[in-house]
Chains A and B, each alone.
Chain A
Amino acid sequence: MIYIDCPHCGERNEDEFVYGGDVAHRRPEDPAALSDAQWCNYIYTVPNTKGWAEEHWWHMRGCQRWITVHRNSVNNELQSVLREKGND
């Protein structure tokens, strides 16, 4: 179990948080412009990065804010934990 330094609450145990996907897996700006294949690829091909990745996490049992965690999935090293833009 890792520590995540929530920018709103401070250092907390991982079990207060819920993983929410890879930041790089952004919702397309204009879904209507995509072909069926491109849209299905967005919906069903979810990144599973080995190594460093930016991830959304939700501090479910804390401030209930979404945060961005820069984590190495190989060894759980954390580089930075930032607020999401919509938090201010």
Chain B
Amino acid sequence: MEAVLTHHLDINAPLNLQAYRAAGGYRSLNAAFDRKPEEIIETVEAANLRGRGGAGFSCGLKWRLRGADAPRPRYLICNIDESEPGTFKDRHLLYGGPHQIIEAVIVSAYALQAEQAVIFVRGEYAKGGNGLRRALEEAEIAGLVGTNIGGNGFDLQIEVHVSGGRYICGEETAMLNAIEGRRPNPRPKIPRPSVKGLWGYPTTTNNVETLVNVPHILLNGAAWFHDLGVNGGCGTKLFCVSGMVQHPGLFELPCGTSARELIFEHAGGLAEGRTLLGFLPGGASTAFLLPEHLDVPMDFDPVAKAGSRLGTGSIIVLDDTTCPVQVTLNLMRFFARESCGFCTPCRDGLPYLAQILTAIAAGEGQAEDLALLEELSDIIGPQSFCAFAPGAVTPLISSLQGFRKHYESHIATGRCPFDAADRNGA
């Protein structure tokens, strides 16, 4: 398969404007300007391009639902606040090919007839954000961004915002607050950002991987995009594989590629003599899958059918030297620390879960703790304000189901059975 999104990426020496154009970059601008905005939205919808940031919602449908008659100004936000543990695809896109991102933002903003765009970059990627700013300057000087782009009467301003940190800023409505200089708590779901978003105006937010597909779809068509996938998937997907594999890395492969192929062919499989315990298919806030799920196509619907989520398409691999209780505790500590603190079930509930897991992992758990963890998860997830806490309890609930005997053995024996083994796999 020919790489589409990673073709020109070079983290150490990203293409400048001239080199990117020589390699065919920015060709999609003419393809876009030759069409009416609604035609582009139809093509993106027909391509079945689904959100690569975790939610998997149809990009074209999202754009169409905002409405062609939405009040002005309209905003487009490109989300590069990648902070989901196990996920590093957007870092490669940002550091390796800033002009590809700018091209994608221009044609997407044109389709939405949005005159303002913000590219939101996580603070830990500040160096990549600087590279993006330099590329943006080149594009502005060349007249690719600004007023009357390409003599087409389309005006677009792009701002690069580098965040001050924190996982929650990647949440769509928390990001609006972050850009406005407010405390980045998530906002109520109604009114939707597509109606009242940034500064109260219609705002569309897409993950950067979603957007960089758009120029290619414009140039090659919806049918071409369909044909890139396998097992019913559409397009390519930037898969990350990390954890207990020989060669962790980023792999651009057909959407729908199996987890087995990703882990055992592309990421080099496990260390000699190890067996697979399980894996997270889509980052830290997805449910664990087990070895029996290895042949599930890594695409939105099949992974959901298997009881988890494709999420960011980032597989985190656990082998038989890994203590699943320790891993779940690590995830819960992450979420407890990253809670924005706005609502009580999340702010107080997640540290409580982490505390119980700490005791179990240390061999100090009680028999009734497992039922307590389940009961608390059932309360905390649905009662909290945004999708953060439901995401936080998802791996815990699946871990309690899939790795039950490991929890029971910690409690029954009063110790971690993996302590003797070197679980760090050195």
A, B co-complexed? no
